[in-house]
Amino acid sequence: MKLDTKAMRHLTAEDWRVLTAVEIGSRNHEVIPTPLIESLAKLRGGASRVHKSISALAKVGLIARLKEAKYDGYRLTYGGVDYLALHTYASRKQVYSVGNRIGVGKESDILVVADDQGTQRVLKIHRLGRISFRTVKANRDYLRKRQGGSWMYLSRLAAEKEFAFMQALRDEGFPVPEPIAQNRHTVLMQFVDAFPLRQISEVPDPAALYAELISLILRLAQHGLIHGDFNEFNILIKEEREKSKPSAKGKEPEQTIEQDEKEKYTVTPILIDFPQMVSMDHQNAEMYFDRDVNCVKRFFERRFHFVSTQPGPFFKDAKKTVGKDGVKRLDAAVEASGFSKKALKDLEAAIREQQASRGEQDGSGEEYDATSMDEDEDEDGEEDEDGEGHASTDELDAKRGDREADAPSIPDMKSLLISNET
């Protein structure tokens, strides 16, 4: 769905209380009975004031009334949860304004936001289950006790897992965006001025970049982790131009147009998208490891016509390096931080079901999609590509060989103007 924050400035403190009440009721109900909403909201104006807020929230699509329900009640929509998360960030002064959606997909939406100082950040909104949740729900082995709020539960698990792994990886020096905060089904992170490898048509040294990516896979393995979706959609390429050295007289050397075009630059890979990350001890670890390696090999052969002369790497060899030389096992560290095995199992089952429903057993990948930024989707609408692109829009035009249109520039941010009186 497309997030529209215009209505936020018109919501009253009572509206926020009622919306929060609907969220609380969603933990045990698919459709929250109106009397329960009244009881949870506890507004001074009583039932009439609650109904006024319910009407206001339903009008802007934050809650929805189901026509075929056996009783009078409402369900919380993704828009409602989005608003609650943004309200929390705003109250903490972490998000002040919202800009473009720079990535869109079947499992997440990516937006540019900014704090009150104008510092740009990225907000990833997980929407696990919005496409195939009816299919997921049909296989309820892992959701029997969460039939009411299971789509919120799954999306929150995805956000919690991603944030936990981003923190652990960042602390160990891995090239990932800096995680700033996590709330409900969202993750707030550093804005990275880079483009997905998918959009890059040329790099200075394909062999060096290939070696660096394979090294990252092996380094993750040493820390006990497998990315699980290590492909051109989930690898950002940050370009940095090398400055020319001054001449002996201290003056900048004169460059011809041809020399300027051949100016040297370096590329740095940045890893993104971690909800599907698994341990090296996972029962299907070898399959996931081999898939990550083969994704890199296939892309480099297809895009850069580069084929490594080195065989592998192989899972059996990587397995021997896990925790070696005192390296911290991040799979164990994340579990110890509070993300339980049950939560991992629930999330993995949901991702597997969602992939199976679309026939994507070989992995889907995420993609920055500039062409879909202004599309309108229904609340539970379907979308084609999943993406987490962090990108500026002024550079690297020549590197987007397989895109017909450039990404639009980030417009003026829309301030949220949220009341904190809840």
Marked catalytic residue, from 115, 229, 292, 331:
229
SS (H, E, C) the chain: CCCCCHHHHHCCHHHHHHHHHHHHHCCCCCCEEHHHHHHHHCCCCHHHHHHHHHHHHHHCCCEEECCCCCCCEEEECHHHHHHHHHHHHHHCCCCCEEEEEEEECCCEEEEEEECCCCCEEEEEEECCCCCCHHHHHHCCCCCHHHCCCHHHHHHHHHHHHHHHHHHHHHHCCCCCCCEEEEECCEEEEECCCCEEHHHCCCCCCHHHHHHHHHHHHHHHHHCCEECCCCCCCCEEEEEEECCCCCCCCCCCCCCCHHHHHCCCEEEEEEECCCCCCEECCCCCHHHHHHHHHHHHHHHHHHHCCCCCCCCCCCHHHHHCCCCHHHCCCHHHHHHHCCCCHHHHHHHHHHHHHHHHHCCCCCCCCECCCHHHCCCCCCCCCCCCCECCCCCCCCCCHHHCCCCCCCCCCCCCCEECCCCCCC
380 catalytically annotated: no
Residues labelled catalytic: 229
